[in-house]
Amino acid sequence: MMGAEVRSFDIQPYVGALPIAFGLSRGEVHALLGAPQVASPPTQWRGISDSWEDGKLQVGYDNDEAVVHVGFGPGDFSLSLAGTPLWSPSEHPDPNPALLRLDPRPMEVLGFLMFDRIGVTTTGYHDDDEYDLAVTVYPRWAKDRFLTKATSPDLSRYDGLNGNIPSTLPTAADGTSTL
């Protein structure tokens, strides 16, 4: 079970899902969330991965045990992006309309929508896979190996939808968010 004091996470593009920031040590994450329910050993593709909330919250680490991604499935916590709510503990609507306002041209990689401008991926929502609903945040440097396999997704299901996230965030010269 997660530490009772941490029940909400705020995605800050290319910073983390605060209070879990990229680069935080595994020990610091455990201090925030308590001991994980499951600790998965490293593989040739990734370092250790810890899970809480029956796998609804996952934190991945590099080989030095520093946070490199944070993943969420619908669970008993709230999730926001730059302070604007995406999910509540009881409601987990499709976050893609809101994310499309900030990055209207995501790419599809291995079944994930990759919103490179804000460092977020989603899966399950755009292809009606209710068993694979997830939102993951990643650091700026982690994207490059995936983008070589990227394709343009069919986003027609989102035509005319308008999410609740403001349509602009401060951006760098390369178009990515500077939050």
CA 178 to chain centre: 17
Q: Does pTM surpass 0.75? A: yes
- Compute the distance between CA of residue 11 and CA of residue 82 in angstroms, rounded to an integer: 6
Mean of per-residue pLDDT scores for the chain: 86
Sheet holding 8-12, edge to edge: 20-21, 16-18, 8-12, 78-81, 84-87
Helices (H) and strands (E) counted in the chain, each on its own, are: 3, 13
Task: Identify the pLDDT of residue 43.
Answer: 83
Mean pLDDT check: name the lowest of 36-40, 112-116, 159-163, 168-172: 168-172
Mean pLDDT check: name the lowest of 61-65, 97-101, 104-108, 138-142: 138-142
Structural contact between residues 122 and 79, judged by C-beta atoms closer than 8 angstroms: no
Tell me whether strands 38-40 and 20-21 are parallel, antiparallel or unpaired: unpaired
